[in-house]
Amino acid sequence: MRLISPKTSICAFLVVLGVIFLSVCACAGQISAAEEQHINPEIPVSFAQSSGTGATQLATAERVSVLQISASDKDGSTTVEISLSGRASFSSFTLPDPLRLVLDIEGAVLQSRPDPILINDGIIHRVRVGQFNPSIVRVVFDLSRVTSYTVVQTEDKPDVICVSFPKRVTGVEFFERDGRAEAVISGEGSLQYETLSLSGPPRIVVDLPGAVLASDAIEMPVSHPQVTCVRASQFQPDTVRVVLDLVKATTYSVSTSSDRPGEVVVDLGYRILGAEFSGDEKSTTVDVVSSGNPEVKFMVLAVPHRIVMDFENSTLDTTERVIPVGDGVVERIRLAQHSPMTVRAVLDLNYYAGHSTAVDPTGRGPKVEVFKSPIAKTVIVIDPGHGGMDPGAIGPTGLQEKAVVLDISKKVATQLQAMGAEVVLTRSDDVSVTLPERVKAASNVRADAFISIHANASRTGEPTGTETLYSGTVSMSRVLAESVQAALVSQIGQVDRGARERNDLMVIREAKCPACLVEVVFMSNLKEELLLLDPAFRQKAAQGITTGIMSYFQWRKDRQSQVSGGRDEKLPVTRDDAILPADNRAQSKEVVQPEEQSGSGEQPQSGDQSQPEDQSQSVDQSQPEEQLHPEDLSEPDDESRPDDMP
């Protein structure tokens, strides 16, 4: 029996052990290769390559060198460029635990091994590169979170492989600045967005495609009347979703701005909380209550009369949409969400005599003071002189007084009606009306004032100017005449001939109410006749007469308030110069020269009786046809008012 030496046994054992070790290594290598070929299906990837149809190109026979790897930020998106000495194919996949993106460049070699590139942008921690095996250079992206990516190799740059990542969303904040609420989504670069509203419960959803949330999911409770919570998460690998949980459904806007790059703003706007009102004998004040001071656009509309206020960047946060007022000037206040970010407040008026606006110093919204008209519910008779067979004065160019004064009278009537007065025209057409019928018209309607409108004339063409006549036999006629005279002269800028007493004119002498006769200008003067031919001048004249009438009734209202201590009582109808304003009492009474007799067509009382009875016509008490300005025609006369409210 031959014995085996211990030395030989040891050698045999080592050989067997070596065989076993090599077998284990080979098996382990196969498992590692199998793991590294696994692609994470949750991460989308897109390729743009110059040739080939698959994500992986076949290796080329010729080796290329990796020359440089660089990282840059382009509009909030990180791009890594791998520069080669020539074209090469590649493959990419992801590995978990830790999360990595692997890019294998086939048929490539490294001349030297570069240091890792630190990025730390919230998506990529760093980029590492190494020679994985003799024919593959491996580039590894250590990721901070799941993300999509794009690998691009183009025809114009076949030696460059670009790996691009989505834009980064860095956070979400909620603010209320000066009563205006907004959620601000912050990110890198210009973010795209899509919005939708959800119910049950109510929510505002903003999706940001092509973006990655560079932080963990956000859930931020909010203490606000409209919003309870703001949430943000990675809805899909390449989409960030931001959700605003609402107390109740509301309108909103979403926008980006070059002034605030990298931000998407969800604007809830100012909140319109309702409307309040108060009033006195001169005006009604409407206060639209807001959480701040939004920009307000005002419109005044007619047919029917309304003041419209559009509150920009605002949402309606009240269930009280109609607030009754009914104080004579403001009938009601209506509120509505006119458009997604515009609240419209409409003041329905019985008439319009003007308004003013002011900002509430407490920041609760604008105040609108709607003026009450001193002529509201008063009855005013406007008497266009002459008419029919009586042309009145005829100017050098042939212009007839009856036509001019009818046009001015209609304009005055329209303006007075717009401010709440009941207006009666003694004629609204080219018809003859006797002097007694004109006086009777005022008595029949128990008029509060009578204004006869004429154009003056003289035997020569030299006299010019404006004058207003009144009779000393009728209480407060002088105040009316002086008020109209002052306003008319101020408006048309002609020579002021003053307010004059004339007791020989029937229409103002026999009236049972304050009355005056206005001589606008001289028809017999060529320059002033040419003024009367101008529609703009006639409009100004009408406005002056209207302003004067308003001034008279305001004076009367103020005086009445003083006499009655605020009670609604009428002044006694007695002549008393003591009630005239001081500046009116100081005016002197001028005597009219014979050559400057009024062109009113009236003669002394005896002449008045010579009018033939068969010439009298029934007095036209119908309302004049409204002459609306173009801007008043912006909305139809429809009780539903479709254009001022949705």
> For tokens 């994500």, what's the residue?
55
Kind of pairing between the strands at 180-187 and 160-177: antiparallel
User: What is the b/e burial string over 552-582, where b = at least 16 CB atoms within 10 angstroms of the residue's CB?
Assistant: bbebbbebbeeeeeeeeeeeeeeeeeebbee
User: What is the b/e burial string over 201-234, where b = at least 16 CB atoms within 10 angstroms of the residue's CB?
Assistant: eebbebbbebbbbbbeebeeeeebebbeebbbeb
Please, are residues 412 and 545 in contact by the beta-carbon 8 Å criterion? yes
Alpha helices per DSSP H over 586-645? 605-608
- Which among 519, 528, 529, 596 is annotated as catalytic? 519
d(CA 122, CA 108): 30
What residue type is 185 in one-letter code? Answer: I
d(CA 287, CA 296): 13
Residue 620 burial class via C-beta count within 10 angstroms: exposed 0-12, middle 13-18, buried 19 and up: middle
CA pseudo-torsion sign 556, 562, 568, 571: negative
Q: State the CB neighbour count (10 A cutoff) for residue 36.
A: 13
Q: State the CB neighbour count (10 A cutoff) for residue 628.
A: 13
Alpha helices per DSSP H over 533-610? 535-564, 582-585, 605-608
d(CA 246, CA 231): 12
Alpha helices per DSSP H over 386-476? 401-418, 435-444
Beta bridge partners of 117: 127
Please, are residues 528 and 493 in contact by the beta-carbon 8 Å criterion? no
Which helix (H) or strand (E) segment holds residue 270: the answer is: strand 260-279
d(CA 326, CA 347): 11
**569 assigned to active site:** no
Angstrom distances, CA of residue 53 to CA of 57, 66, 528, 564: 8, 24, 92, 100
Three-state DSSP at 44 gives coil
Known catalytic residues?
519
